[in-house]
Amino acid sequence: MLACRTRFYDSELAVIYDHLTDLAKGGLRIVATNSFGLRVGAPPAPPTDSDFLPALDDAIRAGVLACFSAGNYHLLAGGGPDGCEPTSIWLHKCRADVLTVGTC
């Protein structure tokens, strides 16, 4: 197990994912769990100059299973306690090549 603490800066996340990519290329099975996001009620604009997103792409190609929290901002997005819409699963969390997890 490898635990990483970060301030969630894009560059810090990229360094972490670059390391995970190297470990996966070295033959290790990597499951990366992530629980971070922006506390907003509407989808933020996709970043235009991200270091993290290319690092995430590389890690997934290397075999890293990336898991992300579902969003956690359903109520901020205007959802009710018993409804499924609207979703707060945005940006990299809604990609088909990552596992997004949540709880009720």
**With 70 as the cut, is the pLDDT of residue 104 above it?**
no
Per-residue tokens: 82: 């018993």
Return d(Cα 68, Cα 92) in angstroms, integer.
Answer: 9
Helices 52-62 & 10-25 angle (0-180, nearest 10): 20
Q: Which of 80, 89, 85, 99 is nearest to 38 (CA)?
A: 89
Reported as a single tens digit per residue, the pLDDT across 63-103 is: 999 999 887 787 888 888 888 888 888 889 889 999 998 87
